[in-house]
Structure 1
Amino acid sequence: MADYIGDLRKLIGTKPIIMCGANVILLNDQDQILLHHRIDRDWWGLPGGAMELGESLEQTASREVLEEVGLVCGELKLFNVYSGENLYYKYPDGNEVYNVTITYLCNDYSGEIVVDPSEGRDARFFPLDMIPSNLSSTVKEIVEEFRIKYYDLKAQRVI
């Protein structure tokens, strides 16, 4: 698949861009969420990443989960859409982005966790009351909103 963001960066350098992507809150049978420990910063985050040309958001979410943590997603359920100042990010290489992030919920997945060493150090499930404090700045709002809404979502059988 083409590297849309990489090709775009060759043209515009590190200037801010709007980047559309997706991430997934994977929930296990013990009501724990999967977090991915990234290598570019000492931060935990949700598996996810940038959309490539021609992909649907669901395809982006599923591809990124498979690439980053080795799990195959079944049904994805829309959780929320995030954008704005809180999703600004400056990468260690100087590239700046304003993310538009679509977050999905998934408790229908298969496989074993296998972390891609080019992107992560670790991936594991955490209880909702034991989320690491060093969350990625771009997912803090998402994880906090999920923690607040978790019991309502469960009562509605969304998850």
Structure 2
Amino acid sequence: MGYILNLRKQVGHEPLISTGSAALVYNASAQLLFVHRSDTHLWGLPSGSKEIGESLTETASREVFEETGVHAVNFKFITILSGPSMAFRYPNGDQIDAVIAVYQAFTQDQQLTPQTGETDKVAFFNLDQLPAQVTDFSRQILEAAELV
């Protein structure tokens, strides 16, 4: 997240328009991949901000790997989410107005590796047993994909 971190040095906690991607990653058992965020202590979908020169699909792929250790393939665009409901204040006070491209992807990977400092757990969940405590962004993504 070098680009956003560099901007933060200039604007402090003021709202930034943050363009990024999120991924609905399914395994061979049709379970959905979630990360447990160490900042909010909520479950969420792998997601993050776009870096300079990166496509939104590349962002989704990179974020999935960075946050989970999973190599996802066959990314398919689902929707874009934006607007007032996509505003967020992080626990450290940083604010964003997010524009999130949502993708569906698949993995055969079984090894799950949380990203030190950002995620403390990674797990697949059955669609009928999704975690109850998820981030607002993830809830909106799940609703847009008609999974809840």
TM-score, normalised by the number of residues in structure 1:
0.87
Amino acid in the other structure paired with 1:123:
V
Unaligned runs of 5+ residues in structure 2 are none
Q: How does 1:101-140 map to 2 (within 5 A)?
A: 101-110=100-109, 112-140=111-139
Amino acid in the other structure paired with 2:9:
K
Amino acid in the other structure paired with 1:19:
S
CA distance in 2 between partners of 1:48 and 1:111 (Å): 19
What is residue 77 of structure 1 aligned with on the other side? 76
3-state SS, counterpart of residue 76 of structure 1: strand
Unaligned runs of 5+ residues in structure 1 are 150-159
Instruction: Tell me which stretches of 4 or more aligned residues in structure 1 moved more than 4 Å.
Output: none
**31 and 147 in structure 1: CA distance in 2 versus 1, 3 angstrom threshold:** farther
CA distance in 1 between partners of 2:146 and 2:31 (Å): 10
Contact 1:72-1:111 at 8 Å conserved across structures: no
Amino acid in the other structure paired with 1:95:
D
TM-score, normalised by the number of residues in structure 2:
0.93
Tell me by how many angstroms 1:145 deviates: 3.0
Number of equivalent positions: 148
CA distance in 2 between partners of 1:147 and 1:109 (Å): 24
3-state SS, counterpart of residue 48 of structure 2: strand
Amino acid in the other structure paired with 2:5:
G
Deviations along 1:29-59, one digit per CA (max 9) or x if unpaired, are: 2221011000001110011100011111111
Amino acid in the other structure paired with 1:13:
G
**Structure number with larger C-alpha Rg:** 1
Q: CA RMSD in A?
A: 1.6
